[in-house]
Amino acid sequence: MASTEREIIVTGNPSWMPPGLRERDRDVVCRWKVTRAERNVFRHKPKIPVSDWAARHRIVTRGPLEESLYRKTTTPYLNGIMDAAWFPSVMTLIVCATPQVGKSFMADTLTGYAIDRDPGPVLYVYPDEDTATENMRDRILPMIKKSPRLRAFLTGLGGDESGQRVNLQHMQVYMAWARSASRLGNRSIKYVILDEVDKYPTVANVREASPIDLAEARTLTYNHAGRKIIKISTPTVEAAPIWQALMTEAQVIFDYWVRCPECRKFQAMRFEQIKVPPDERDPERIQNYNLAWYECESCGEKWNEHMRDVAVRRGQWRSRQEGQALRAYLFQKRPLKIGFHIPSWLSHFVSFWEIGAAFFRAQGSKLKLKDWNNKYCAMPWKPYEVERQEDRILALRDDRPRGIVPSG
């Protein structure tokens, strides 16, 4: 094994020097060798922001950017979330987001950072066993194996890499699913990642608590050792777990503010600013001819997707209530539980025409409108009924004889 020779020269007669070496007429030269394994053990790895770590060591293993290093400019809104996850005071991270915005990639990156910089047992919880096994095979193991930094922690033993667990040299990564109480118990966990919590059953089984409660209980041993609980999901309805966690559990909710490339004014993007031609309602034409754009609230500039990406790269996270920047808020308030809301129009991978066409396709169908609300706006569905005019008239009926009108 490779080693490095070190040398130190001892002058004088220090008290710790053996008596036989004190009677000498020259300095003592001490030499020793440090092996590579010893250097790895004793090397101090400084804490760096998770986003910086990802830009150096995280290899993208799926999608159009496969086999490339993570670029902070592709999904800029993820950088602040990943960095906030490892802020010392933060214990619980809640991310309510649409598909195609990188939320699962973010969760895996946090695991990679833990493996390299802050090791401890990791537990992933998925809605079902098949999803857990597939994600271990298709996402987590490839992430470890394709990164030179993370690959060094593999043991090389075949039995240490399975569909339900990875044993590394210094920690473990476990898979669990929401309907298995046994997979959610019997071990102490430092990092819990609860993926797509709105798809979990209410309880793990008839005799157990909810899967979320069971998983969170695994972290109690690490209460004073930097435990992290990460809840991620696309929302469904208001009473479901992710929206309840965001609204009632999070001490603060952060929204992403973009900066207009033209007028340089900050704003939180809203669906109402995605425009189509005034007389255009055909989703096929909107899609085929790219008839949608985003209109800046301040200057009215029409953004295409490229301008949107520029605006997002120049953006920042701000607290919903105070409007304070993310980093300043964390250092000032030092919150324990924080939440983030990510709609689809922030994503480099979602076009305005896609959002607009999907909206018009959903008209006239409650089911499709619910799906659009969840998957594009990252908002829960709230059932509603519209009162018809004749209902108001019929509600005024009484038992007065036919032909008699009210006096006056």
Report DSSP letters for 61-114, one per residue: -SSTTTTSB--TTTSHHHHHHHHHHTSTT--EEEEEE-TTSSHHHHHHHHHHHH
Q: Distance between CA 114 and CA 336 in Å, rounded?
A: 19
Structure confidence by residue, pLDDT tens digits, 224-241 = 889 999 999 999 999 999
CB contact at 8 A, 79 and 149 = no
Tokens 């030269």 -> residue: 29
Q: Distance between CA 115 and CA 171 in Å, rounded?
A: 7
Structure confidence by residue, pLDDT tens digits, 135-160 = 999 999 999 999 999 999 999 888 89
Handedness of CA 179, 183, 184, 186 (dihedral sign): positive
Model confidence at 1, pLDDT cuts 50, 70, 90, reads very low
Mean predicted lDDT score pLDDT of the chain:
90
Q: Distance between CA 168 and CA 404 in Å, rounded?
A: 87
Q: Which amino acid is at 58?
A: R
pLDDT at position 23 is 67
β-pair partners for 175: 124
pTM greater than 0.95: no
Structure confidence by residue, pLDDT tens digits, 6-34 = 777 777 777 777 777 666 666 777 777 77
Structure confidence by residue, pLDDT tens digits, 239-252 = 999 999 999 999 99
Residue 306 has pLDDT above 90, yes or no: yes
Q: Which amino acid is at 15?
A: S
Q: For residue 269, which of 95, 71, 84, 77 has the smallest C-alpha distance?
A: 77
Structure confidence by residue, pLDDT tens digits, 56-74 = 999 998 777 767 899 999 9
The CA-atom distances, in angstroms, between 241 and each of 174, 228, 238 are: 22, 18, 8
pLDDT at position 48 is 92
Tokens found for residue 245: 């966690």
Structure confidence by residue, pLDDT tens digits, 249-291 = 999 999 999 999 999 999 999 999 999 999 999 999 999 999 9
Structure confidence by residue, pLDDT tens digits, 175-219 = 999 988 888 877 899 999 999 999 999 988 767 789 999 999 999
